[in-house]
Amino acid sequence: MDTFWIMLGWAGIYGPTALGAIGSIVGCARAGQAACGAMIDVESGYGRLVGLSALPSSQIIYGIVVMFTLNRTPTVESAPGLFAVGILCGAALLFSAVFQGLCCASAITASKSKPEIFGLSAAPAAIVEGFAVFAFIFALVIAGGIPGANG
């Protein structure tokens, strides 16, 4: 039974990185597809379209930082906390990146017809990013209370 808990602890340590990466992949792919489609219809401003499509990549960075914060040898005492914090933070990062990608795709699509709304149309993506930042910060704070914390 101890092996089961240890395995869950390792999953919790790596979970924020893996789940954040999955979300970033999906979000960037969706927004990137919209950017490619928009470039057919516009004469300039390609850089900002591509830049906006990369916005969901930040969640993998948050996941990596949380992974380093959780990184320790899991014990039966620490594994449940590692698993809960890592997997729940990872899930928040995954969903944030996916939905941020959809917001970016919508902003790209809207701004190709009306370029003057580009900044304003990107606001929903920034709001979604805020939720990823909340999950990130809360995971860092909670990680300090998990038994076996480094340092």
Indicate whether 151 belongs to any domain.
no
Q: Which regions of the chain are under pLDDT 50?
A: 151
In this prediction, residue 151 carries a pLDDT of: 44
The pTM (predicted TM-score) of the whole model is 0.91
Query: Which residue do the tokens 């792919």 mark?
Result: 29
Domains of the chain: total: 1
Indicate whether 149 belongs to any domain.
no
In this prediction, residue 118 carries a pLDDT of: 87
Domain, as residue range, for 57: 2-143
Cβ-based neighbours of 30, under 8 Å, separated by 6 or more: 98, 101, 102, 104, 105
In this prediction, residue 141 carries a pLDDT of: 96
**DSSP-derived secondary structure letter, 101:** H
Which of 65, 80, 77 lies closest to 17, judged by CA? 65
Length of the chain: 151
User: For residue 146, which phi and psi values (nearest 5 degrees)?
Assistant: -80, 130
CATH number at residue 124: 1.20.120.610
Dist. CA 138–CA 120, nearest whole Å: 28
20, 94 contact by CB (below 8 A):
yes
Indicate whether 46 belongs to any domain.
yes
CB atoms closer than 10 angstroms to residue 37 = 14
pLDDT, tens digit, for every residue of 84-108?
999 999 999 999 999 999 999 999 9
The token duo for 9 is 């602890």
